[in-house]
Chains A and B, each alone.
Chain A
């Protein structure tokens, strides 16, 4: 058997080649995205017809209003019913005995155009019952004077419009007493997915639009609080909550943790209670926090704090305890006193691990964000998630959720790569950025050395007989 060690995908604790690793890392994101796309675009969902232009017919049991969704069968039934109505009118006309009709009925027929007229801006909002204006629209359409930027009128319907316009002009200024042709129903085809399953492109589109919005969204029900601020403004609110909560947690937890990890006194004094306290879920204190800190930003920050702080103290204490004891002993034999042991050995020694702890702490802060923002007056991205979700507008919910995820993930990745810059001594091969910064600091130090050497030409030499081995 030839050796094919390099081509194995599965080897216990064996690293894959760089190319394969990169491919798998890409797949790690593409697979879930693919699953989402298959679920959304796959042939699992019925196609529905959402009525945009409706018509009434005596042959139908029900009246279909614009916006209603119909199955393929009932749509077909609807269209053929209206077609047969029109056929009857045309037949009567050709026989020379046109069907009689009242002005009221004909006005009703003309009003069929209203949804398209509103969408295309042919009539103003509030003029839906202005029959003269509507009649004017029909005439203009027949003359080809109007464009339809939003809702197209089908060719069949344009024929109907022209035919009716001729009848209307003939009767002018009175309303005709013969039956007008009905507009054929028009509909947009929609895939009827479950309400929560929004296809990726719609989420991306909705997210992109919300991100670009500089002014609050002019929505029909703008009385609602969730429409008064843009996505980015809400994102800013969320970032502020997270950051302040994290900062407060870190500022309290780091000193306590270092104390507990350094001195057994503080370890025994703090840790047992904190260990107990962390098992009480932070949201359970929500009502207490609101009673103390009000309904605005205060309780939200405090919730993030309560959720992260107990874990952080224990984690930092543990990190501090993991500093190798021989380092402390070495420092003692070098003459370090108790205070110097803490400031010159413990604190610098645990820095890289402490930095990682804080990264994890920030990750926790993100998980507490949603619960925090639901407290009191809802705020931030959570408000979008909550209110839009209640209205089943999931295409606005997912961008907000994704924004939280992406922010947390990217922040962590950046902090992780910065770790190499801050702590060059923990990595055998410094990263590109680390090498660059190292070179810069060395150059600066060199310049300072050269400068000070000029001013103090001779360094004090106290030893007498020291030579190279």
Chain B
């Protein structure tokens, strides 16, 4: 297995996959990030969080952004959402520069940000109502979006009555109810347990398939990124720079079985090289201090 792995190039794409990428690249850009930089003022001088970031996302593309913690992933997505302003460069949605948060970019946060005083339905109605839609219209729309994420039975529950996975599904429905051009997701499944997480990844792909939505998804989980994405943007840390954009060679529809396929493993290995280049070096080794003799056969 290992031998075949090193033989297989992660850049080699099966014809089906290649065709898919050809079609995808012909689609118009929904999001363009041009020369984006961000630096903060810290006590010991300015800290560069992001440096000259350039990339584009095509319509209905699923783009994952991956990188070590502290590489500026969250800063990037917050700038895209308009919650922070870049030091240089700009963000274009459908070719138009953005300033500040807007309905064209929906966002799902890492923590649970449902409004606890509103029921599931009222949470999903929030966006349409902010846009001035009447109660009955936004309620009807909200019902459809709740059905889309499979929570029709819970529309009158309050968030505290839902599990973590259900809360994030409501958050997705709430963001989609505004019919944004792009859905920004900031490690949305980071707080979930492994099983719920896998389930949510499946749900997300189904939702994405069902509606016309472009997704930019931030994660630090390599498997998650490969399972979900068309392309993966690998960020370098300190300063945050685009290290490589990987076109995932795993064909769609995706399934859990693909986790052991050679394309999958090759991609994962490449990303490991990019993100943890020195992971075997001695500085990550703990000193050997034997304090027990019981069960000396553990290794």
Once bound together, how far apart are the Cα atoms of A340 and B103, in whole Å?
A: 14
Contact of B126 among A329, A334, A426, A467 (CB under 8 A): A334
CB distance from B177 to the nearest CB of A (A): 8
Please tell me if the beta carbons of B137 and A334 are within 8 angstroms of each other in the complex. no
Which chain A positions have C-beta within 8 A of B127? 334-335
User: Among residues 423 to 469 in chain A, which have CB atoms less than 8 Å away from a CB atom of chain B?
Assistant: 423-426, 428, 442, 452, 456, 459-463, 465-469
Please tell me if the beta carbons of A428 and B160 are within 8 angstroms of each other in the complex. yes
Which chain B positions have C-beta within 8 A of A336? 126, 130
Which chain B positions have C-beta within 8 A of A349? 115-117
| Smallest CB gap from A333: residue in B | B107
| Smallest CB gap from B114: residue in A | A330
Say yes or no for A201: interface residue by CB 8 A criterion.
no
Once bound together, how far apart are the Cα atoms of A428 and B116, in whole Å?
A: 12
Please tell me if the beta carbons of A424 and B131 are within 8 angstroms of each other in the complex. no
Say yes or no for B159: interface residue by CB 8 A criterion.
yes
Contact of B178 among A334, A337, A442, A456 (CB under 8 A): A334
Contact of A466 among B113, B130, B139, B148 (CB under 8 A): B148
| Proximity bits, B207-220, A CB within 8 Å = 1, else 0 | 10011000000000
Once bound together, how far apart are the Cα atoms of A456 and B137, in whole Å?
A: 12
Please tell me if the beta carbons of B203 and A335 are within 8 angstroms of each other in the complex. no
Say yes or no for A331: interface residue by CB 8 A criterion.
yes
Say yes or no for B141: interface residue by CB 8 A criterion.
yes
Once bound together, how far apart are the Cα atoms of A460 and B128, in whole Å?
A: 14
Please tell me if the beta carbons of A462 and B101 are within 8 angstroms of each other in the complex. no
Once bound together, how far apart are the Cα atoms of A348 and B126, in whole Å?
A: 13
Which chain A positions have C-beta within 8 A of B150? 468-469
Which chain B positions have C-beta within 8 A of A456? 136
Please tell me if the beta carbons of A469 and B149 are within 8 angstroms of each other in the complex. yes
Contact of B174 among A334, A426, A465 (CB under 8 A): A334
User: Among residues 224 to 243 in chain B, which have CB atoms less than 8 Å away from a CB atom of chain A?
Assistant: none
Say yes or no for A351: interface residue by CB 8 A criterion.
yes
Which chain A positions have C-beta within 8 A of B136? 452, 456, 459-460
With A333-B101, A462-B141, A463-B144 as contacts: A425 and B107 at CB distance below 8 Å:
no
Say yes or no for A344: interface residue by CB 8 A criterion.
yes
CB distance from A102 to the nearest CB of B (A): 95
Please tell me if the beta carbons of A332 and B101 are within 8 angstroms of each other in the complex. yes
Once bound together, how far apart are the Cα atoms of A463 and B179, in whole Å?
A: 10
Which chain B positions have C-beta within 8 A of A348? 115, 117-118
Once bound together, how far apart are the Cα atoms of A456 and B203, in whole Å?
A: 33
Given contacts A333-B175, A344-B126, 6 further A-B contacts (CB under 8 A): A326-B109, A330-B115, A336-B126, A425-B159, A426-B116, A428-B161
Residues of A within 8 A of B (CB): 324, 326-327, 329-337, 340, 344-345, 348-349, 351, 423-426, 428, 442, 452, 456, 459-463, 465-469
Complex A-B: 9 CB contacts under 8 Å: A332-B82, A333-B83, A333-B105, A334-B103, A344-B126, A349-B116, A426-B116, A461-B140, A465-B211
